[in-house]
């Protein structure tokens, strides 16, 4: 079974600075998807960014980018130019690739609470 580990329960960043959230995972599969979800105080889960394991290029979405290290099974999220609205809980998640015979469920880490200092 796959596992996802987010070892830092909380982090803080100064507004306009850059912060990196860590995530590691364990799997024996070669093809899979990785996601970062954001959960603000409203508790609505929002997809921030996704990465396919077979793609070597790191995904980028505006101020959000990932550092995907497949061999190390590491998937960190970098937030540049942090804004007050970035304050939220962030979850890393893993999903097996379609067609592998595995189901479509997501496995989540325990999350990290990010606070942004004005």
Q: Which of 25, 68, 75, 91 binds other proteins (CB under 8 A)?
A: 91
Sole binder of other proteins in the list 72, 85, 104, 118 (CB under 8 A): 104
Q: Closest Cα to residue 86, out of 108, 118, 109? A: 118
Q: Does 90 bind other proteins (CB under 8 A)?
A: no
Question: Interface with other proteins includes 52 (CB under 8 A)?
Answer: yes
Burial 85-115, CB ≥16 within 10 A → b, else e: ebbbbbbbbbbbbeeeeeeeeebebebbebe
Work out whether 33 is an interface residue with other proteins (CB under 8 A).
yes
Q: Read off the tokens for 97.
A: 């690739």
Among 36, 53, 87, 95, indicate the residue that binds other proteins (CB under 8 A): 95
Judged by CB under 8 A, the number of residues near other proteins is: 23
């Amino acid at each position: 079974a796959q596992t996802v580990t987010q070892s830092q329960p909380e982090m803080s960043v100064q507004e306009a600075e850059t912060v990196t959230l860590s995530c590691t995972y364990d799997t024996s599969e070669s093809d899979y998807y990785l996601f970062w979800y954001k959960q603000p105080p409203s508790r609505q889960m929002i997809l921030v960014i996704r990465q396919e394991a077979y793609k070597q290029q790191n995904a980028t979405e505006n101020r959000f980018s990932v550092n995907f290290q497949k061999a190390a099974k590491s998937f960190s999220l970098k937030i540049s130019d942090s804004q007050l609205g970035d304050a939220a809980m962030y979850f890393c998640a893993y999903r097996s690739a379609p067609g592998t015979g595995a189901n479509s469920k997501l496995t989540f880490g325990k999350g990290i609470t990010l606070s942004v200092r004005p």
